[in-house]
Amino acid sequence: MSTNSTLKIVPKSGPTRRVSVPDLAARKGGEPIVSLTAYTAPMAKILDPHCDFLLVGDSLGMVLYGLDSTLGVTLDMAINHGAAVVRGSSRACVIVDMPFGTYQESPEQAYRNCAQVMIETGCAAIKIEGGTEMAETVRFLVERGIPVMGHVGLKPQSVNVAGGYRAHGRNQDEAAKVKKDAHAIADAGAFSIVIEGVVEHLAAEITRDIHVVTIGIGASAACDGQILVTEDAFGMFTDFTPRFVKRFAEIAEEMDKAAADYAKEVKARTFPADEHCYGKK
Ligand code: KIV
């Protein structure tokens, strides 16, 4: 370096720092947390700038694989899609949903499978469904370095016990159970809890009373953040839209139109045109 040159400190333009689990935890009562589901790298890339976290939900079984519940999702599916979402994003915290049967048996089984998911995907945290019965497992995981997001209220993995998908907390006994579950999971060390499909006042009361961030889906704007299944929110399914979903786009309609235009041009031999062909000027 020449002696008369002015020393310029150029800030390193390194990769964006990802939102961390403590960042999310610190948002209690603050600006609402924005999250959506993602299962693939291209979708993660689109959603990443807008979301604080991306959830690789086990809803992927229904959304991507056409299963009629989330129960058929395997650990390999969660790992492959989780890794794709981590690769496709650089800013949002990535959280992977543990599939049915991979964590309910014992804290040890849960630890083995959650650790494998974290190691093989690079995700920052995992999500498990359940209330008081899962509290011991949540404590076991958190004490051993696995950040846990809980999930209470409507628990899709328990659809066969509950007898279907419906809102919870409409009567006192049910409301008391959801509250007890949320408190048990928060006290066990979860950094956040998804509250799904519960009546508005109950979600508001839980959010007020527990010290961890709540993420609502069909649980009112009182929660500390919101999540939706992206394909629901963007109108990629046309058959059924649950009451709690707002469609922010009509992607299925757009795709239907694009496919029809493509088919028309292929049949008319107007696609590919000269500009799409090699060796033509
Ligand atoms: O599987 C999932 O996508 C979920 C959320 C929608 C909360 O659990």
Residue-wise pLDDT tens digits, 118-136: 999 999 999 999 999 999 9
Same domain, 279 and 208: no
Q: Is residue 4 part of a domain?
A: no
Residue 12 has pLDDT above 50, yes or no: no
* Structural tokens at position 115: 């650790």
Same domain, 207 and 261: no
- How far, in Å, from the CA of 65 to the mean position of ligand 1? 15
> What pLDDT, on a 0 to 100 scale, did the predictor assign at position 240?
76
Question: Cα separation of 19 and 98, whole Å?
Answer: 21
Q: Is residue 5 part of a domain?
A: no
Note the pTM of the prediction, 2 decimals. Answer: 0.93
Residue 4 has pLDDT above 50, yes or no: no
Question: Cα separation of 25 and 173, whole Å?
Answer: 29
CA atoms within 13 A on the CB side of 34: 10
Same domain, 268 and 154: no
pLDDT, tens digit (0-9, with 9 covering 90-100), for 68-83: 999 999 999 999 999 9
* Structural tokens at position 6: 């002015």
Q: Is 196 assigned a catalytic role?
A: yes
Is beta strand 93-97 parallel, antiparallel or unpaired with respect to 125-127?
parallel
Question: Cα separation of 13 and 65, whole Å?
Answer: 39
Rounded to 10 degrees, what is the CA torsion of 199, 240, 216, 34? -150
Q: Is residue 208 part of a domain?
A: yes
Same domain, 89 and 145: yes
Question: Cα separation of 76 and 60, whole Å?
Answer: 12
| Domain total in the chain | 2
From the list 196, 200, 250, 254, the catalytic residue is 196
CATH of the domain at 153: 3.20.20.60
Q: Whose CA is closest to 154, among 181, 133, 136?
A: 181
The helix/strand/coil state of 112 is helix
Closest residue to atom 3 of ligand 1, CA basis? 57
Q: Which domain holds residue 255?
A: 250-281
Mean pLDDT within 254-277: 97
Same domain, 211 and 262: no
Residue 198 has pLDDT above 50, yes or no: yes
Count of C-beta atoms within a 10 Å radius of residue 141: 26
- How far, in Å, from the CA of 215 to the mean position of ligand 1? 11
Q: Is residue 61 part of a domain?
A: yes
pLDDT band at 166 (very low <50, low <70, confident <90, very high): confident
pLDDT band at 239 (very low <50, low <70, confident <90, very high): confident
